[in-house]
Amino acid sequence: MSRLIVWRHGNTDWNASHRVQGQTDVPLNAVGRQQAVDASELLIKMRPDMIVSSDLHRAADTAAALAALSGLTINYDKRFRERYFGNWQGLTMAEVAELYPDQYERWTHGQEVGGEVETLADLGRRVSEALHAAAELSPPGGTVVVATHGAAARQGIGHLLGWPLEQLRTLRALQNCHWVELTHDRERGWQVAAYNVGPFTDRPVPPPV
C-alpha cells in the first residue's frame, strides 16, 4: 500500500493577519518555523521515503525541517504552489469583501470567483497531476510527504478522489502544519486515512489562501 502525506506549510505573518497570500512568496514566521519542527517530529515516525514541495518559501522551509530529520533530499514541483488569487493577493479578507464584493460572495459559497483568480477546476487539476507524479516516483509501498498550501491541498485531494465541490466544502480548512494522509491500493484506489492531523495548536484556523 502506498501513502501520500499532503502537508500544509507553517504559519506566516500573512496567515496571522488573514491576508491573502496566493502565490506571493511569504516566509514562515517564528511560530511557523516551530510548527514545522514539531510536525516533523511526528512525520518522521511515518518513515517517509521521499519529500516533495512547492517551491514557495513557506512550503519549502516547512519541508526543510523534515529533510533535516530524515536526511532526504527535497524535490520541488511548482504545481504544488498555492492557488493564484490575482488582485486579491496582499489584501486582507475584509479588504477583498469591500473591493470585490461579488467575487467575495462567490468565494464564500465555494463557487468560481472569476476575474484573475485561478479556477478551482484548474487548481484541482494541476495539484492532482502533481500528486500522481509524486506517487509514481515513490518506491512500491512507499510514503511520500508533499509540502504544499491550504487551498491547493484541499482542491488537489478533491480532484484526486473525484469528489464534487459540494462534498469538498464539507471539509474544514487544514490548520497550519497539519496534513491529510492518503493511501492507495489496487482494489480500492485512493482513500482518505486521516485528515487535519498535526501538532497541537490552540490558534484559530487561518483561511487557506
Write down the H helix ranges in the chain: 13-16, 30-43, 57-70, 93-99, 101-108, 120-137, 150-161, 165-168
Task: For residue 18, count CB atoms less than 10 angstroms from its CB and return exposed for 0-12, middle for 13-18, buried for 19 or more.
Answer: middle
Q: What are phi and psi of 148, to 5 degrees?
A: -145, -145
Among residues 18, 41, 57, 82, which one is catalytic? 82
Among residues 9, 149, 159, 178, which one is catalytic? 9
82 catalytic? Reply is yes
Architecture of the domain delimited by 2-197: 3-Layer(aba) Sandwich (3.40)
Q: What digits encode the pLDDT tens for the residues 139-188?
A: 889 999 999 999 999 999 999 999 998 999 899 999 999 999 999 988 89
Q: What digits encode the pLDDT tens for the residues 101-142?
A: 999 999 999 899 999 999 999 999 999 999 999 999 888 899
Q: What digits encode the pLDDT tens for the residues 9-61?
A: 999 999 999 999 999 999 999 999 999 999 999 999 999 999 999 999 999 99
Total Cβ atoms within 10 A of residue 194? 12
